[in-house]
Amino acid sequence: MAVEREPVIYFKKTVPYIVGVRFFPGDNDGKALTQSDPYVWINEGDLRDFKRANRIAIAEGLIARTTEPIEDEDNPNALSEETVEAAVKNTKALKDILDKVTAEAPVVQLLEEARLQRRPKATITLLEKKLRELSGELPEDMEGAI
């Protein structure tokens, strides 16, 4: 049986300095929002208390409600399915991605999608070359490959 989670609301600091937030009025601990950790999340049921405890920070724009943060937004090896599908259709975009990628998994993901979409041999060759640079072999060459 799946346990239903209460919806979560995110807030992010909007200024370049540390901002302290409290989770409820009278909260003596709270949380400091910094450059390396600018987000805070609260359960939807606690939103009213959070807004009361931080009304000045919200009114002055020090913190603002936001969408869920993407953890790996700066990681070039984290590719969404949409990015992969679009990249194998556009050679320039594919080359840009391959220049930044440092792991084998996203290249294998791109190669599988290119084969699935029956992309031109030049695209397949480009991906195989990058995979050889990173691993020294193609998935078909690996032991146990089907």
pLDDT of residue 115: 92
* 10-residue averages of pLDDT along the chain (146 residues): 77 92 94 90 94 94 87 69 86 89 85 91 90 72 53
CB of 79 closer than 8 Å to CB of 109: yes
Give, in order, the Cα–Cα distances in Å from 43 to each of 1, 48, 52. Answer: 21, 10, 15
**Strand arrangement, sheet containing 39-43:** 39-43, 8-13, 63-66
**In the chain, where the domains are located:** 8-66, 81-140
- 25-51 b/e (C-beta count within 10 Å ≥ 16 → b): eeeeeeeebeeeebebebeeebeebbe
CB of 61 closer than 8 Å to CB of 13: no
CB of 33 closer than 8 Å to CB of 20: yes
pLDDT of residue 11: 95
pLDDT of residue 146: 47
